[in-house]
Amino acid sequence: MRVTPELDTINSLEICPKLLIQTYPAVVFDGDNYIVVWSDNNFGGSYYYLAAARVTPEGVVLDTGACISSGTGTSEYRAKIAYDGNRCLVVWPKSSGPIYGRFLNSQCQPEGNVFVIASPPAGGANIAFGDTSYLVTWFSGVYPALELHGQLVSTQGSLLGGQIDIVLGSGCHRWADVVFDGTKYLVVWQTGENFVGQKIYGQFIGTDGSLLGDNFMICDNTMQERWWPAVAVSDSNYVVTWGQGSGSACDIWGNVDVTITGVTENEGYTVHDTGLNLTVSPNPFSKLTTVSFGIEHGAERIGLSIYDATGRLVKSFNQVSSIENQVSSVVWDGRDDHDRQLSSGVYFVQLVAGNCTTAEKLLLLR
């Protein structure tokens, strides 16, 4: 089903009309089309393997839902997908335990081989793209002794660094979700065994895979049945949601108290201290906007970039020369680095000069 920004429903559409069972969908937008992946019972008897199809913003299904995994072995469930500005990475567990990944190009065709991200026993994979790499999360172990881990993956499919141990020890940690806010990741998950109450926790992770501070509780301290946390981010804070309760008394709860810190200024600096000036006009804009920036102090490394509301890099303006006491400007037409027209929404312009950073929010209206 498509939904307008005013939350009016537009006619539903059938993405995969095949016989048998299709389940566990996930979706991402690549700047041109939506890429939908799901588990499909049409490829291997009683087993489920991954399929994918493109859907245009107008609701036209462009593909028939071909198998995108190896299509062998045990079933594949609960795939997740993220977009890096060029292609998508799909991650999933098999019922035998490993976490796998494979890239899809803009034509919804697999690129490269299926590769292993985590060894068995593992499940509950999730993924987000950061500034230059993906963060994949999963839980490992045998219930109820489940621990939560992560792994940075490059846009070429290389595993970067070692496994990230997000939370270890007793507690039954599982079903994580992850989001990137432009400077760091936030991973949220549920802790606790079935039917004895669970709590929702979070952990910040840097783009180098380091844990930023300690993990923290996001829900209240009461013992309730809490399941399937999800997280999204705006320019100021995160919203974390989850199901709470049991049986017919299960409701959806949420928390917006986790704020973004250090997005518009680096630790140890104020915006005035940095000597950076950044303005965007007109704002909002529909066709063209001018980004003007000034740098009062010399800097060898200068960069100007645009991110979407999820923290995904969409446009880079390379300003690598040393600039001092100078004002410059660039014009942006609302297109990404691949010359694709971006959709309406909130974007962020970030100016980096040496170790100093500042940012401005802008609104694109189509």
Task: Give per-residue pLDDT as tens, 59-99.
Answer: 999 999 999 999 999 999 999 999 998 999 999 999 878 99
Domain spans of the chain, in order of start: 2-255, 271-364
Neighbours of 139 (CB within 10 A): 27
Please spell the DSSP secondary structure of 159-189, one letter per residue: EEEEEEEEE-SSS-EEEEEEEE-SSEEEEEE
Instruction: Grade residue 287 by pLDDT with cuts at 50, 70 and 90.
Output: confident
Does residue 75 contact residue 94 with C-beta atoms inside 8 Å?
yes
Per-residue model confidence (pLDDT) at position 297: 62
The model carries a pTM of 0.74
Bond before 284 cis per omega within 30 degrees? yes
Per-residue model confidence (pLDDT) at position 262: 34
Matching fold, domains 2-255 and 271-364: no
Q: Whose CA is closest to 271, among 350, 186, 187, 156? A: 350
Instruction: Grade residue 321 by pLDDT with cuts at 50, 70 and 90.
Output: very low
Neighbours of 249 (CB within 10 A): 8
Per-residue model confidence (pLDDT) at position 249: 78
Which residues contact residue 212 at a Cβ distance below 8 angstroms, ignoring those fewer than 6 apart? 184, 203, 204, 205, 206
Q: Name the token pair of 302.
A: 């200068």
Per-residue model confidence (pLDDT) at position 269: 32
Compute the mean pLDDT over every residue in the chain, rounded to the nearest whole number. 87
- What mean pLDDT is predicted for residues 197-208? 94
Q: How far apart are CA 127 and CA 97, in angstroms?
A: 17
Amino acid at 120: P
- What mean pLDDT is predicted for residues 252-276? 58
Task: Give per-residue pLDDT as tens, 346-366.
Answer: 888 988 877 777 888 888 876
Which residues contact residue 221 at a Cβ distance below 8 angstroms, ignoring those fewer than 6 apart? 199
Amino acid at 129: F
Share of the chain above pLDDT 70, in %: 90
- What mean pLDDT is predicted for residues 155-170? 96
Q: Name the token pair of 117.
A: 């991200």
Per-residue model confidence (pLDDT) at position 119: 95
Residue position matching structure tokens 């937008």: 29
Instruction: Grade residue 2 by pLDDT with cuts at 50, 70 and 90.
Output: low
Fold of 271-364: Immunoglobulin-like (2.60.40)
Per-residue model confidence (pLDDT) at position 170: 86
3-state secondary structure (DSSP) of residue 33:
coil
CATH of domain 2-255: 2.115.10.20
